Amino acid sequence: MKRFRQIAKGEDAPDAVTVGIERDAAGAILAAIWWPSRGDVDADEVNYRSVPEAFEAAQAAMDLHGFAEIVVTLQSEDLWCPEWGELRPAGMALSEEEAFELARATEASRDA
């Protein structure tokens, strides 16, 4: 099962691809992914009508551009579906294993 770290809306994630999930005026759940510019990678944002499709695209962008993780921001807490993975609430500290893995991935992306 995939695990994701939740960040607050508007919070920067300089070494991550962000998946934003929200509900539109008609009640449909929409998603967008974005990432910051760094090195020779330009910032970008893409909208999706399917959350699973957005996560697939976020994983591809993370792999292609060498970001360390995928983070999630929610318009409201009730939008998260467990079948997308495990969501660690905003502000919750990383475990030692997760901190090590994040540091390892960050270093690997710098070496790429």
Q: Which is it for strands 3-6 and 86-88: parallel, antiparallel or unpaired?
A: parallel
Average pLDDT over residues 91-96: 59
pLDDT of residue 95: 60
Paired with 35 in beta bridges are 44
Q: Count of CB atoms within 10 A of residue 95's CB?
A: 10
Average pLDDT over residues 14-38: 95
Residue 22: φ, ψ to 5°: -150, 170
pLDDT of residue 18: 98
Q: Is the pLDDT of residue 94 over 90?
A: no
d(Cα 46, Cα 19) in Å, to the nearest integer?
A: 10
Q: Is the pLDDT of residue 110 over 80?
A: no
Average pLDDT over residues 26-53: 95
Global pTM value: 0.79
Average pLDDT over residues 87-102: 70
Q: Is the pLDDT of residue 43 over 90?
A: yes
d(Cα 98, Cα 103) in Å, to the nearest integer?
A: 9
The amino acid that residue 69 corresponds to is E
